[in-house]
Amino acid sequence: MLIDVEVGLISGRKAIVQAALDETVGTLKRRAQVALGAGTGRLLDSSGRVLEGSVPIKKTRVQNGDSLTLLCTNTVEIHASAGAFAAILHDGSVVCWGDVHFGADSSTVQTRLKNVQQIQASRDGAFAAILGDGSVVTWGNAERGGDSSAVQVFSFPLFTDSFCDTLLQEVFHFYESGLPARHLP
């Protein structure tokens, strides 16, 4: 049995989508995304409850003629300095535009702007992004906080892997030899 449901976006755009009761909610959602020209999101019933994508439609309370909402999650978060903007895109990357003197040029740190969780902008043209691993990336007006290279923590190996392997082998051979070892306090 086929049902017709109206699926709408928060913007007010709507489409009628048809699905069989034995199809999954995920199939219905994909048809709605295509019909509305929308990105990924969550499908909500008329009460605002999220409909689980793997569940067959017949196991939900969705009926012929119901109105559902596609809540898109591909939105962006935008932050601004006095003359530039930085947006966190749905994939965690960042895009900037505006006046380069106010932080619009993030090209020197663009490869590090992945999995961005939050951005803070100063009105003086500096931006700081907090990444998913807790690290911070800055860009923009260097005199106003856009250059944090002086306080970056760098890690480097004190000894190479081959040196450590050789040292461990020598220690192991020494213990195997049975020679007495002097323990330091």
CATH 3.10.20.90 residue ranges for the chain:
2-72
State pLDDT tens for residues 125-151. Answer: 999 998 877 789 999 999 988 988 877
- Is residue 130 exposed (0-12), middle (13-18) or buried (19+ Cβ within 10 Å)? middle
User: Which CATH number does the domain 2-72 belong to among 3.40.50.300, 3.40.50.1980, 3.10.20.90, 3.10.100.10?
Assistant: 3.10.20.90
Contact 41, 71 (CB under 8 A): yes
- Is residue 125 exposed (0-12), middle (13-18) or buried (19+ Cβ within 10 Å)? buried
Q: What is the pLDDT of residue 182?
A: 60
State pLDDT tens for residues 70-79. Answer: 987 665 788 9
Q: What is the pLDDT of residue 155?
A: 46
Under the banding of pLDDT at 50, 70 and 90, the label for residue 159 is low
* Least confident range of 95-99, 112-116, 169-173: 169-173
CA distance 43 to 62: 11
CA distance 71 to 54: 17
Residue 153 has pLDDT above 60, yes or no: no
3-state secondary structure (DSSP) of residue 23: coil
DSSP per-residue string spanning 101-140: GGT---TTTGGG--SEEEEEE-TTSEEEEEETTS-EEEEE
In the block, which residue shows the tokens 């530039």?
A: 84
In the block, which residue shows the tokens 């700081």?
A: 128
Q: What is the pLDDT of residue 105?
A: 95
